[in-house]
Amino acid sequence: MKLTIIGASGSFPGPGSPASCYLVTAEGPDPDGAPGSQKTWRILMDLGNGALGTLQRYMALDDIDAVLLTHLHPDHCMDLCGLHVAIRWNPYGWKGIHVPVYGPEATADRMATAYGLDPDPGMHPDFDFHHWQANVPVTVGPFTITPVPVRHPIDEAYALRLEITEPGPDGEPVHRVLTYSGDTDTCDGLVEAARDADLFLCEAAFQEGRDDGIDGVHLTGRRAGQMATDAGARRLLLTHLPVWTDPLAASIEARETYAGDLAVAVSGVTYRV
């Protein structure tokens, strides 16, 4: 499976990146093709403001197989409004129908309100909305996704654990795990979501010494590193850094508590998980 960073800026788009959006791709069975045929599955983890434009550098919008929302703050979901326009008003038609959207229970109404629509029908003609159930896995193509509740000041916030079994270099099946923190502070749920992850994509919006008085909102690089260590994650990729958080400082903090492979997410970079 591959992870492409579409947007990694925290809280709002920055000069070099949209807000949170991550494209995950993998090969899997094509349910609409001939028996035994495969396709590239493309799912999005979050679709924050500014992400929809950058996303089109890497894929056609009507190839989206699902959108997975961690929570309903605008920097993680608001470009779903733009995707609604792309589906509803494309004069040449839309290849697929009812794009699956997985998110908190209030997702459909929140998006309708954001776009000034009556909730009935709202965006239901364009999206097939599914509500996360805490710790209950769902399947999208070759992916198994488990939403794990985490600590953030909103009614529902989840980390996402993506799992897939695919052929390894020698042809033998290999189990891979990608965990995305969403927005959170330290909590047991985050450690469980990232347990033994091959790649832990983890927010580090805050900075030690600067944001110490704010609890239950975001991680620092140091706390993100500790979560990765506690989880036994093999690689740590820091993300969701707002424009006022220095990536180098976040990395230095994370290195105090995490000894493994460490980097900072950059829009446009692709990682093999």
pLDDT tens digits, residue range 119-162? 999 999 999 999 999 999 999 999 999 999 999 999 999 999 99
Instruction: Round to whole Å and give the CA distance between 34 and 73.
Output: 41
pLDDT mean across residues, the chain = 96
Least confident of 91-95, 130-134, 181-185, 219-223: 91-95
- The per-residue pLDDT for 51 is 98
CATH number (domain holding residue 104): 3.60.15.10
Note the pLDDT of residue 43.
Answer: 98
Share of the chain above pLDDT 70, in %: 100
Of 69 and 92, which is predicted with more confidence? Answer: 69
Q: Which residue has the tokens 């450690």?
A: 191
Please state the domain count of the chain.
1
Mean pLDDT of the region 238-250: 98
pLDDT (0 to 100) of residue 32: 87
pTM comes to 0.97
- The Cα 53–Cα 263 span in angstroms is 25
- Give me the domain span that covers residue 152: 2-272
